[in-house]
Amino acid sequence: MTRAAGAFAVVYAGGKTYRCTTRGRLRKALGVRVVPGDRVVVVPTGPEEGVVQSVLPRTSELVKPTARDAGRLQVLAANVDQACVVFSTASPDPDPMAVDRFLALAEAAGLVPFLCFNKLDLAEPGPLRELYESLGYRVVATSARTGQGLDRLRAQLAGHLTVLVGPSGVGKSSLVNALNPQARRKVGEVGRRGRGRHTTTDAQLIPVDGQGFVVDTPGFQVLDFVHLEPDAVRQAFPEIARLAAGCRFPDCSHRQEPGCAVREEAARGKVAASRMRSYLALLEEAEEAWRARYRSRREG
Ligand SMILES: Nc1nc2c(ncn2[C@@H]2O[C@H](COP(=O)(O)OP(=O)(O)OP(=O)(O)O)[C@@H](O)[C@H]2O)c(=O)[nH]1
Ligand SMILES: [Mg+2]
Ligand SMILES: [Zn+2]
């Protein structure tokens, strides 16, 4: 399933696409809304048409709060196994805290993240590349404009269903178009304040060289992260989670607790200061969201 628009779904099978109905009674019977990445059983009704009969169980779901109500979650994509976290080397400049947020979101969703620094024609990824490589993340640098680095990105995508995530304006849709010119994804402008303008509004699955699929998503906002549980935040920073085994308390938050191995290592410069800041900020937010949910449950 590549795209769902109301009653229609575009289904990709054996190199062909089928425009399928999932309307009415059928949709009710399926019990789920089909989303990009869903594996479906289709009965063809014509050379390019079909009817969705059933949706196979999902191996993963990528969720984010709906635009209208941050308390309600929406499934962005299904069966994704890898996340490509896209930032630009410049225009907009990469913010390490935002990079950490996207990596944590992917980790918490059980996806294997890797980083793509795009707009290599404007600037080099610099020390951020070394930082994330030292943490064990794979990093590729690309230019959707000149085509630089696209082969390495392709190699990374082969055999996977990968979701592209990142802020607005970093070039996610441009990369998709560079990888598959038939995709014709709409590409936006970067505003004067160096921010994207949320050009992409739907998630869509796009084949790449018959060897993999990518899901292009709308640029994320800070608001999209409130659903992480505090415990998920603790697990979402791999180098911190590894060191936590040495903390005196098994549920150590690495803030004030005595005998905290993470803070000791951070003081010795073994945990990057920017990572520690991101971890603490995300934990704070997750706890605040947790308290708010707890309060509203008690009042409601
Ligand atoms: N110089 C340069 N500009 C790029 C590159 N890739 C994309 N751009 C430009 O960056 C702007 C935003 O690109 P998009 O592909 O729309 O960005 P996006 O990440 O899909 O943004 P949203 O859909 O809003 O999340 C456009 O003006 C592109 O032309 C690149 O490699 N180099
Ligand atoms: Mg886009
Ligand atoms: Zn600790």
Dist. CA 85 → ligand 2 center (Å): 13
- Alpha helical stretches, state H, 109-220: 127-134, 150-157, 172-179
Whether residue 9 is predicted with pLDDT greater than 90 in this model: the reply is no
Q: How far is CA 233 from CA 106, 215, 255, in A?
A: 11, 24, 14
Q: Please identify, among 55, 78, 99, the residue that sits at the C-terminal boundary of a domain.
A: 55
For residues 109-135, give the mean pLDDT: 95
Residue 206 · residue 213 · CB < 8 Å: yes
- Choosing from 91, 124, 187 the residue with most ligand 1 atoms within 8 A of its CB, the one to mutate for a pocket test is 187
Residues 132 and 147 in one domain: yes
Ligand at shortest distance from the CA of 250 = 3
Pocket of ligand 1 (CB under 6 A): 118-119, 121-122, 143-145, 168-174, 187-190, 196-200, 218-219
Beta strand extents in 99-175 (DSSP E only) = 112-118, 139-141, 161-165
pLDDT at 172 (0 to 100): 94
Q: pLDDT-derived band of residue 134, with 50, 70 and 90 as boundaries?
A: very high
Rounded Cα gap, residues 22 and 277, in angstroms = 46
Q: How many CB atoms lie within 10 A of CB 233?
A: 26
16: pLDDT strictly greater than 70: yes
Residues 207 and 238 in one domain: no
**Which of 91, 174, 184 to mutate to test ligand 1, by most ligand atoms within 8 A of the CB atom?**
174
pTM of the entire predicted model: 0.88
Domain CATH for 255: 1.10.40.50
Rounded CA-CA distance 241/123 in Å is 32
For residue 174, give the ligand nearest its CA.
Answer: 1
Q: Tell me which ligand sits closest to the C-alpha of residue 177.
A: 1
Task: Read off the CATH number of the domain in which 172 is found.
Answer: 3.40.50.300
Pair (124, 248) in one structural domain: no
Tokens of 193: 């304040």
Domain holding 290, by residue range, is 228-299
CA distance 57 to 234: 29
pLDDT at residue 60 in the model:
85
Between 152 and 186, name the one with better pLDDT. 152
DSSP annotation of 58: P
Domain boundary among the residues 223, 241, 276 is at: 223
Burial class (CB in 10 A: 0-12, 13-18, 19+), 165: buried
Q: Which atom of ligand 1 is nearest to the CA of 219?
A: 25
Same domain, 163 and 287: no
Q: What is the pLDDT of residue 2?
A: 54
